[in-house]
Amino acid sequence: MARFVPTPFTVGVHDLMHRPGEQREKLFDIVLPEQMGEGLVAVAKGARMHLDVRLESVHEGILATVDVDTEASGECGRCLEPLTEVVQVDIQELFAYSLDEAFDYCVTDDHVDLEQMVRDAVVLALPFQPVCRPECAGLDPETGERRSEGQAQSPGESIDPRWAALQKLASEQDS
């Protein structure tokens, strides 16, 4: 049998087990041991994560309610400028006493490990295409420079060389 290894997200629940109606609240400030998320934005290794945890004993196990506050960093999906974004997630999961397929998490050696639950919720809360601001104009496809807010896109300024023959044919038919 695998040995239980505690993490910074591990909470002892011996005093709550098999006592329906009992509850306990705890605050955590965790320095992340590894990055959460991939892609354009992620919560970096070493970032601070604040957890406000309420553990309640119920007949089936321990009900964990967790409010997560942290900050993700990365780059804008339009202009590639660095950005930071506040991530706030509310989670509620049951840690069952038995290893049943109906439950995703279980109490192990009188402890609950909140890490996988928190990781799943935080990663799902991260934006897939983050933007530095909603009106971000992105990069100019010709120059690669960041567009200014007032700079309008000018379609048709340059013709893709692959379409030049078609444009020549269209102009011949017009004359």
The three state secondary structure string of 56-71 is: EECCCEEEEEEEEEEE
Residue 150's alpha-carbon distances to 17, 23, 48, 77, 122, in angstroms, are: 61, 56, 37, 19, 35
> DSSP character for 170?
H
**C-beta of residue 47 within 8 angstroms of C-beta of residue 70:** yes
pTM, full prediction: 0.76
The tens place of each residue's pLDDT in the chain, 175 residues long, gives 345 677 889 999 999 888 888 999 999 999 999 999 988 999 999 999 999 999 999 998 999 999 999 999 999 998 989 999 999 999 999 999 887 777 888 888 899 999 999 999 999 999 989 999 888 888 888 787 888 765 555 554 566 778 878 888 888 887 6
- What pLDDT is stored for residue 2 in this prediction? 47
Tokens of 127: 């934006």
SS3 content of the chain, % helix, strand, coil (to 5): 15, 35, 50
Domain boundaries, the chain: 10-125, 139-175
Q: Identify which of 114, 116, 115, 102 has the alpha carbon closest to the alpha carbon of residue 13.
A: 114
Spatial neighbors of 128 by CB under 8 A, at least 6 apart, are: 39
- Please state, in angstroms and rounded to a whole number, the distance separating the CA atoms of residues 5 and 3: 6
- What pLDDT is stored for residue 139 in this prediction? 85
